[in-house]
Chains A and B, each alone.
Chain A
Amino acid sequence: MSGTSVILKKELKRVFGDRKLIFSLFIMPALIVIVLYGLMGFMLKSMIDDVEKHESIVAVVNAPEGFKELASLTGYDQTADITYLTEDEFKAVEDIYRNDILEGNGDLAVIFDADFDAVVANFKNVGDAIPNVKIWRNSSEDYSSEAYSVFNKLMLETYKDQLIANRIGSLEMLNVFNESSENIVKEAKANTQFVSMMLPYLIVLLLFAGAMSVGVDAIAGEKERGTLASMLITPVKRIEIVMGKLLSLCILSGLSAIVHCVSMVVAMGFMGGIMGEVGESGFGNISISVLSALELLAIMLAMVYLFVSLIGTLCIYAKDTKIAGTYISPFYIVVIVAGMMTMFTTGKEVPMSKYLIPVYGNALAIKDICANELTGGNFLACMSGTLLLAIICTVAMVKAFNSEKVMFNA
């Protein structure tokens, strides 16, 4: 197979001998991913910080007895700019307040019934009147939504508890049982929940994108330029040419995918770090055993081989790179869908037969690896399905290389 190694070397030199190609294939996508995700994380964090730091502008109308004391006690008056108004005062500025909330200049208006205290005090039996608290808020404004959430939790709920306690003597009267819960969880799975949901999808997607970025030009591009035919008039067997092309594409797209994956994981960690929720949101670093790492590597290599042979086969049937693109597009969509499907699987045990489905089975297996749950049987099923399809594609590619109709449009 000396022809294979000669072609392999040429294909690798084509990429690694060109600084622009190295930059565009490996460095630029990694930088884009890291910068993009970093920027997203930074902006998200800034937005959250800004909302949290914002001093809510709140109007309280007909504040009942003890409400001001409660605001002071809970510290709410330190985080919000509260204006207390009487019924008459509010009626005079009602439209202004409404408009302010609508335009985002005010955050909240809490309107207690004028006789709130009296109605509360007069409640004796079930069916007696209870007072009303009307709250004006704007759910499309972050400041208003946050103000509503904080007011509800810090003030309204506490005040309600206080009134209930006053009415029945003690809140303890409402407590009929104690609740204690224990979170029995695999730490690795819990810490990497988000990453393990996203990673299979991203790996599948990036491996396909990597294979596509190098495969189209190497096969359809060469066919279009007439440079592929120059190899066909040498004594090298067609299968050697195919293997040389496939091997080089596997190496290049594998490297491209690894760069993408690493940058993606770094970016997500970076994003998680910026957001300050590492370990809670599932942005934590994945920790897997050596065996799992080898399984992951094997699955990724099998997928690279599948994608490269599939794209190679489609490209050889295409007259030029544009047509190759149209042939590949439907498969790209299938790959995206298969990857996404694993994002929404539940904890229910997945049957082994599903691991046999190329791409989908790979994504399932990667998800399992992230959670340290991949069984030997599922691993073998996943590898078998993928390699079988890859071999079929390779045979089809060799056949296409041997077909004068395909190669020379004869």
Chain B
Amino acid sequence: MITINNLTKIYKLNKKKMMELKTTDTQKVAVNGVSLSTKEGEIFGLLGPNGAGKTTTLRCVATLLSPTEGNITVCGHDTIKEGEKVRDNICFLTNEIKLDPHFSPDYMFNFFGQLHGMSKDEIEKRKEELFTTFGINEFKDKKIEDLSTGMKQKTAIAVSLVHNPKVVIFDEPTSGLDIVTARSVTDYLLKLRNEGKTVIISTHIMSEAEKLCDRIAIIIGGKKVCEGTLDEILEETKGFDLEDAFFKLYSEHGTDF
């Protein structure tokens, strides 16, 4: 469903950013030659420390950023040439992208449904399903600004899924959530996988990745240093769990960058 081929993303640095990063380099390589592919009905995890390039990779998949080199296809559509078709097949949820706090979950759901070209009936049917699943009906008419963090996250997930996308991309989906809400999110990701969707998540919570992901790619310093199932990664790194495997990889590659 997603094929990333030799993805490289280089940011140009202005003087202000060079000073912030305490570097004399005029550019920063955020992602360096990453290639990977995901299949239908699997949860694929991108693991890595902060600044490793996970979010940049996902943003490139979501067509928000253009690769400096390489290409990405989603459901057979190129992210650069067929951005609109790609966006019609994906949902992308990240903490940096938020819903307008002045509106209710109900209005936002309708709004994004319309932006995806759905009819009223299709929107209502989908709303019924997702609002029931996430328990949003109780607060669907309240303004989003008046909702708790958990309610907002549930609403954001429901709204992002309005068009029933084939590919679900969540950037740190449980970050900042309480344990109950986090569980409801991870349960729903498993449900989506079972429905045959492709789910790709980025996280630095090892236990979450172990529990959720069918396959994992570890990115350090913009480069993919390992990819496979949990067992394959443990075998390759001789780690006793994912965290141990991650630190072995990090000690091996982390200082290279």
A227 within 8 A of B: yes
Whether A226 pairs with B65 at a CB distance below 8 angstroms is no
User: A residues within 8 A CB of B91?
Assistant: 233
Q: Could you mark each residue 225-246 of chain A with 1 if its beta carbon is under 8 Å from any beta carbon of chain B, else 0?
A: 1110111111111000000000
Known: A235-B88, A410-B65. A230 touches B99 (CB 8 A): yes
B109 within 8 A of A: no
A226 to B111, CA, bound (A): 16
Interface size on A, residues (CB 8 A): 25
Report A286-332 residues with CB < 8 Å from chain B CB.
Answer: none
Known: A227-B99, A229-B97. A404 touches B92 (CB 8 A): no
Report A188-229 residues with CB < 8 Å from chain B CB.
Answer: 222, 225-227, 229
A2 to B101, CA, bound (A): 23
Question: Which of B43-51, B112-120, B127-135, B194-202 forms part of the interface with chain A?
Answer: B112-120
A251 to B56, CA, bound (A): 37
Whether B100 pairs with A14 at a CB distance below 8 angstroms is yes
Report B1-26 residues with CB < 8 Å from chain A CB.
Answer: 11
A230 to B112, CA, bound (A): 9
A13 to B143, CA, bound (A): 13
Task: Name the one of A13, A232, A234, A404 contacting B112, with C-beta atoms under 8 angstroms.
Answer: A234
Query: Which secondary structure dominates where chain A touches chain B?
Result: helix
B191 within 8 A of A: no
Whether A3 pairs with B100 at a CB distance below 8 angstroms is no
Whether B98 pairs with A227 at a CB distance below 8 angstroms is yes
User: B residues within 8 A CB of A225?
Assistant: 98, 100-101
Whether B117 pairs with A2 at a CB distance below 8 angstroms is yes
Interface size on B, residues (CB 8 A): 29
Whether A230 pairs with B98 at a CB distance below 8 angstroms is yes
Q: Could you mark each residue 164-195 of chain B with 1 if its beta carbon is under 8 Å from any beta carbon of chain A, else 0?
A: 00000000000000000000000000000000
Would you give the shortest CB distance from A239 to chain B, in whole angstroms?
Answer: 12
A335 to B4, CA, bound (A): 50
A231 to B65, CA, bound (A): 15
A404 to B66, CA, bound (A): 8
Whether A10 pairs with B111 at a CB distance below 8 angstroms is yes
User: A residues within 8 A CB of B11?
Assistant: 410
A123 within 8 A of B: no
Q: Could you mark each residue 1-31 of chain A with 1 if its beta carbon is under 8 Å from any beta carbon of chain B, else 0?
A: 0110011001001100010000000000000
Task: Name the one of B97, B103, B111 contacting A233, with C-beta atoms under 8 angstroms.
Answer: B97
B208 within 8 A of A: no
B85 within 8 A of A: yes
Task: For A6, give the chain B residue with the smallest CB separation.
Answer: B114
Whether A6 pairs with B111 at a CB distance below 8 angstroms is yes
Task: For A240, give the chain B residue with the smallest CB separation.
Answer: B115
A232 to B64, CA, bound (A): 7
A67 within 8 A of B: no
A residues apposed to B, CB below 8 Å: 2-3, 6-7, 10, 13-14, 18, 222, 225-227, 229-237, 404, 407-408, 410
17 new A-B contacts at CB < 8 Å, known A230-B112, A404-B66: A10-B103, A13-B103, A14-B103, A222-B100, A225-B101, A226-B97, A226-B98, A229-B97, A230-B97, A230-B98, A233-B62, A233-B91, A233-B92, A234-B116, A407-B64, A408-B59, A410-B65
